[in-house]
Amino acid sequence: FDFCQAEGKKRPSENLGQVLFGERIEPSPYRFTFNKKETCKSVCTKTYDTRKPEDKQKLDFLKKSMLLNYQHHWIVDNMPVTWCYDVEDGQRFCNPGFPIGCYITEDGRPKDACVINSEFHEKDTFYIFNHVDIKIYYHVVENEALGARLVAAKLEPKSYKHTHPDNPDCSGVPMDISNKANGEVKIAYTYSVSFEEEKSIRWASRWDYILESMPHTHIQWFSIMNSLVIVLFLSGMVAMIMLRTLHKDIARYNQMDSSEDAQEEFGWKLVHGDIFRPPRKGMLLSVFLGSGTQILIMTFVTLFFACLGFLSPANRGALMTCAVVLWVLLGTPAGYVAARFYKSFGGEKWKTNVLLTSFLCPGIVFADFFIMNLILWGEGSSAAIPFGTLVAILALWFCISVPLTFIGAYFGFKKHAIEHPVRTNQIPRQIPEQSFYTKPLPGIIMGGILPFGCIFIQLFFILNSIWSHQMYYMFGFLFLVFIILVITCSEATILLCYFHLCAEDYHWQWRSFLTSGFTAVYFLIYAIHYFFSKLQITGTASTILYFGYTMIMVLIFFLFTG
């Protein structure tokens, strides 16, 4: 972007989560001294001669970023510097970033941030925010050793065309860059900083200002009530089937005198000789079950910690770091579950099973991630992950996760296979003609709708926080939704399983996995809708990145729900 650079300062170090999310922190040329007021201090001046091709390219890049409403994100003492402005109905909205500049269209319509100042009125012109008024609020600590703590930092972006860049006075007309401008363009960057004591904010609660400017909580409660109604409805259905229908069925089966009525059996009792027949592709199913268990426990523990406040936005990258470390350490349950199910399906190739559990799903995720990284690297993006970090992730996977999976699988294979209560017949039974809604595909498609209905409002906020740089802090809601999702997935699957067993279709293993797993397909459809309706992403690389990362999320979500 060719803004002012800080000379000779070394960059702060980032943790694993920040590196994976592509958050890089750069040192700043804006220097503050505590309680020392500065007005209109010059940082640097950039001159662009449009006749030189490299200067013209830099200026065009700046224009393009103003057109797309790119934002600065600044940090002081680990606090985001916020830009607060009035929105309709008397509320103030605090944005943790502020735009580079803005654009007035050819027919004189102000775009994005240009509405804040009536002086921005030239047609087909860019206005760059080259001056910032920063206000730092501090809280004096009374009882301990004398000192003050920073509790908030706010700024106002301004635009000034400084007449004397070396001796700026910060007044006069805004800094305009006409779209058709030729010759020399000079942009002088300046700042003012003032300090103010703020007695009402404690240092511990200095992040609360984010909550004030996010009036989304009533939507959340509404969606939670909505989901709870779905859960109650499903639980009622499941309970009714379990208690009344099964009770009736069993009573009826017990009354029959085994000799004469045995031919007239109907419903799920008929498939007792086939119900534990191993599924087709049992190897793959057991591997999916193992990886799914790993993801389920990882999500549960991460969200639990997030609810207790360990992973608040103040600890940058903590959420991602926690998830990755947990995922690596949870290789043992994955290996155990996969081995256990594979053995009960009567599988013999245990080596293949262990290897697939440790490498199939993580391998797909890593390959996808690696391709995305190559694209970022080719585009020269700062979000590209350095080679060292990739090696570190591979080391975590091969040296910790894989051995743990082997240990889990060893214990899983050592235990006796899961005993089935009924013998499996030698000859497979023929499945009668199925009605439309007990056929595999319609059943699976119907099964995904209910769980998706529970989560889709949370999904909107999560996608916003990933792609639109908004803070996500509603972990309490998310934990609740997570629990509701787990219950809904299980209950919807039990219901549909009962229906198709009554229709004498005994292939239940894959169907039960895919019924709730199909929620991930709805998630994918929603992500595509979000891409076209909410995001203004242009360019091939960016689109590939969006869908590449979305596919990783969809795969993880598929394994988790299944």
Spatial contact of 516 and 489, defined as CB atoms under 8 Å apart: yes
User: Both 500 and 353 in a single domain?
Assistant: no
Same-domain check for residues 92 and 152: yes
Structural domain contains residue 344: yes
Inside any domain, residue 321: yes
Residue 250 resides in a domain = no
Q: What is the pLDDT of residues 314-362, one digit of tens each?
A: 788 899 999 999 999 999 999 999 999 999 998 889 999 999 999 999 9
Has residue 255 been placed in a domain? no
The domain total for the chain is: 3
Do 310 and 208 fall within a single domain? no
Which segment, 102-116, 396-410, 473-487, is predicted with the most confidence on average? 396-410
Helix segments in 330-439, DSSP class H: 331-344, 350-378, 387-395, 402-414
Whether 4 is in a domain gets the answer: no
Domain boundary, last residue among 355, 390, 419: 419
Where does the pLDDT of residue 211 fall: very low under 50, low under 70, confident under 90, or very high at 90 and above?
low
Amino acid (one-letter) located at 108: G
159 and 48 together in one domain = yes
- Tell me the per-residue pLDDT of 433-483, one tens digit each, with 9 for 90 and over: 888 888 889 999 988 998 998 888 889 888 988 887 777 778 888 998 899
Residue 425 is assigned to a structural domain of this protein: no
Strand arrangement, sheet containing 131-141: 38-49, 184-197, 131-141, 147-158
Q: Where in the sequence is the domain holding 354, given as residue range(s)?
A: 280-419
As a whole number of angstroms, the distance between CA 115 and CA 100 comes to 14
pTM for the complete prediction?
Answer: 0.88
Same domain, 478 and 412: no
pLDDT digits 0-9 by tens, 228-272: 888 888 888 888 887 887 788 778 777 776 545 555 566 788 888
One domain for residues 350 and 461? no
Angle at Cα 350 formed by Cα 405 and Cα 514, nearest 5°? 75
What percentage of the chain carries pLDDT values higher than 70? Answer: 96
- Interatomic CA distance for residues 280 and 282, integer angstroms: 5
The answer to whether 50 touches 185, Cβ cutoff 8 Å, is yes
Asked if residues 458 and 223 have their Cβ atoms less than 8 Å apart, the reply is: yes
Same-domain pairing of 126 and 236? no
Q: Which of 11-20, 50-59, 437-446 shows the lowest mean pLDDT across its residues?
A: 11-20
In a domain, 275, yes or no: no
| Residue after which a domain boundary falls, among 419, 453, 481 | 419
Residues 289 and 140 in one domain: no
Q: Both 397 and 330 in a single domain?
A: yes
**Which contacts of 22-28 are long-range, i.e. CB under 8 A and separated by 24 or more positions?**
22/376, 22/381, 22/382, 22/383, 22/384, 22/385, 23/316, 23/317, 24/382, 24/383, 25/75, 28/74
Specify whether 99 is located in the same domain as 191: yes
Of 388, 419, 450, the residue at which a domain comes to its end is 419
- Which segment of 30-39, 247-256, 367-376, 541-550 scores lowest on mean pLDDT? 247-256
Q: Based on the fold, state whether residues 332 and 378 are members of the same structural domain.
A: yes
In a domain, 64, yes or no: yes
Instruction: Tell me, yes or no, whether 130 and 231 share the same domain.
Output: no
